[in-house]
Amino acid sequence: MMENTRAVYSQGLRDRFLTENAESYSEEELLELLLTFAVESEDVKPIAEELIQVYGSLSRVLSAPHDDLSKVKELGSSSVALLKLVGFIAIRDNGPIVSKKTPAKLAAKGAREKPHQLFPPSTRSKNKATSPKSPRRKFQVSNGYLLAFDQLARILHFLLKNREMKRINRKALQEDTGLADRQVESLVSMGSAMGLIKPVTQVLTPAGLLVAEHDMFIEKTGSLEWCHYAGAGSFRNLVWFEVFNHLLTQTPPMTQKQWGEKLRSGLAGKYSKGTITKNLSGEVYFIIDAYTQRNFNKLELLQRSSDDCLYRRRYTRFSPLVLSAMIYDFCAAADTHLFQVEEMAVAPGSPAAVFGLDAASFRQQIEGLHDRGWLRYETTHNLDQIRLKTEFSAIHFLTAYYKGGEPRDSIKSSPGGMFQ
């Protein structure tokens, strides 16, 4: 009787897929449907959900090594063979498995890119890092150093003490912290990359001031979420941006060495061979170390498979206030209060993109924020869009996160995004 019930349920999934809009299916539902062709006698929904949670996306499951999939006790040889066959067909016929469309709104702003193109044009048109006045991307964020959060805290502490100053020179930072000049330079660069320190003037940004006051060692989940969004979402941070918006979304899992080779190929002709040879491996290692050995490890975003390949795990445990801040900041950078959910879900640099969410998962997060009254999720008349509330901005939500309570509209906002 149980087997008959499951067979009926599986057939129902297939019938619905043929009669409904397939674009509305989440990656978990698509994987569940696929598994029903190999497993008739079991409930495959928990298996699909677990695989997506572990590997981060459907494309990652389909491109996972055969040996790794075989270790999942719920998957038999037929299931593994089916997954590898679908993955092989997709890659052979279409290149890396990417079903994402270029966002129409961003394309209209001159941000059209090819589906599998590394190092595309900017998508955050109003971000300083991508404006005509500052077109260059920052190749080196780390300058050969690793992201030592305790040492960065010493920089933040000094900047907090001197928050009234409009400009702080590096020598003063060096004398106060006792760190070498080159190390101070690198820490300031990392702080700037994460949206905490203003470049050139070396003073705290509004977000940096909140972090320095309430979480100087950057240990809270919300602080790490914001810093990841700022670092991986900024087009200016060349290697960091490419890793999380292209390498981890458009290519199968790779080893650290393969990451370097892929990036080196994409950078060829854009930078001198000497610059690439000297600095690329250090920047790649900086990112891997930050997400596997340092504070960012708490987010569990970057994982290693048994064959030492790196892949991203989808992140859904957001601090709602911080996620709201990200969405408001991303929209401010695009100079809009209205965004299609599916467009933001695939836009490089968006909160959805840098945390590995597909449209369905991102939509669930948006619905939660709508229920809290922090934005509007509009679905009537065939709409599927986010409408921001004009009285709020990113700083309202970050302030509420660190100081407690609801976001208030009495705080002075920062037009053009928090990175302006």
Q: Averaged over 65-73, what is the pLDDT?
A: 77
SS3 per-residue string spanning the chain = CHHHHHHHHHHHHHHHHHHCCHHHCCHHHHHHHHHCCCCCCCCCHHHHHHHHHHHCCHHHHHCCCHHHHHCCCCCCHHHHHHHHHHHHHHHHHHCCCCCCCCCHHHHHHHHCCCCCCCCCCCCCCCCHHHCCCCCCCECCCCCCCCCCHHHHHHHHHHHHHCCCCCCCCHHHHHHHHCCCHHHHHHHHHHHHHCCCECCCCCCECHHHHHHHHHCCCCCCHHHHHHHHHHHHHCCCEHHHHHHHHHHHHHCCCECHHHHHHHHHHHHECCECHHHHHHHHHHHHHHHHHHHHCCHHHHHCCEEECCCCCEEECCCCCCCHHHHHHHHHHHHHHCCCCEEEHHHHHHCCCCHHHHCCCCHHHHHHHHHHHHHHCCEEEECHHHCCEEEECCCCCHHHHHHHHHHCCCCCCCCCCCCCCCCC
**pLDDT of 383 strictly over 60:** yes
Q: What is the largest CA-CA distance in the chain?
A: 77
Is 216 or 61 the better-scoring residue by pLDDT?
216
- How does pLDDT run across 334-350, given as a tens digit for each residue? 999 999 999 999 999 99
- Return the pLDDT at 103: 44
**pLDDT of 119 strictly over 90:** no
pLDDT band (50, 70, 90) for residue 111: very low
- Return the pLDDT at 289: 98
- How does pLDDT run across 384-413, given as a tens digit for each residue? 999 999 999 999 999 999 999 889 765 554
Give the amino acid at 171.
K
| Percent with pLDDT over 90 in the chain | 59
Instruction: Report the DSSP pairing between strands 338-340 and 375-378.
Output: unpaired
d(CA 95, CA 92): 6
Q: Averaged over 196-210, what is the pLDDT?
A: 95
Q: What pTM value is reported for the model?
A: 0.72
Place of tokens 């997400």: 291
- Return the pLDDT at 272: 87
- Return the pLDDT at 128: 38
- How does pLDDT run across 14-51, given as a tens digit for each residue? 777 777 666 667 788 888 888 888 876 678 888 888 88
The CATH 1.10.10.10 portion of the chain extends over 320-403
- How does pLDDT run across 122-165, given as a tens digit for each residue? 344 344 333 334 447 899 999 999 999 999 999 999 999 999 99
- Return the pLDDT at 316: 96
CATH tag, 320-403: 1.10.10.10
Lowest mean pLDDT among 81-90, 117-126, 312-321, 411-420: 117-126
Query: Going by C-beta distance under 8 Å and a sequence separation of 6 or more, which residues neighbour residue 60?
Result: 253, 311, 312
**Whole-number average pLDDT of the chain:** 84
- How does pLDDT run across 311-330, given as a tens digit for each residue? 999 999 999 999 999 999 99
**pLDDT of 93 strictly over 60:** no
- Cβ(173)–Cβ(204) below 8 Å: no
**pLDDT of 234 strictly over 90:** yes
pLDDT band (50, 70, 90) for residue 80: confident
pLDDT band (50, 70, 90) for residue 225: very high
**pLDDT of 416 strictly over 90:** no
d(CA 398, CA 171): 31
**pLDDT of 72 strictly over 60:** yes
Is 5 or 264 the better-scoring residue by pLDDT?
264
Q: Averaged over 233-238, what is the pLDDT?
A: 95
